Amino acid sequence: GHDELDAIVAAYTAYLRGQGQAEAVGDPQEGVIYVPKAGGQR
């Protein structure tokens, strides 16, 4: 189901953030979402 896919994407994005390959999008005062940087490894 989609819950498993959501978990995989969240874990992968957390891994990328730890590797410096994700960036924050949004207002830090309101909250941010981390997304993979463009041009990263695939």
Encoded tokens for 18? 């730890």
Q: Is the pLDDT of residue 42 over 70?
A: no
Average pLDDT over the chain, rounded to whole?
A: 92
Q: What is the pLDDT of residue 41?
A: 58
Instruction: Give me the DSSP letters along 11-42.
Output: HHHHHHHHTT-EEEEEETTTEEEEEEPTT---
Stated length of the chain? 42
Q: How confident is the model at residue 39 (pLDDT cuts 50, 70, 90)?
A: confident
Q: What is the pLDDT of residue 11?
A: 96
Distance CA 31, CA 26 (A): 6
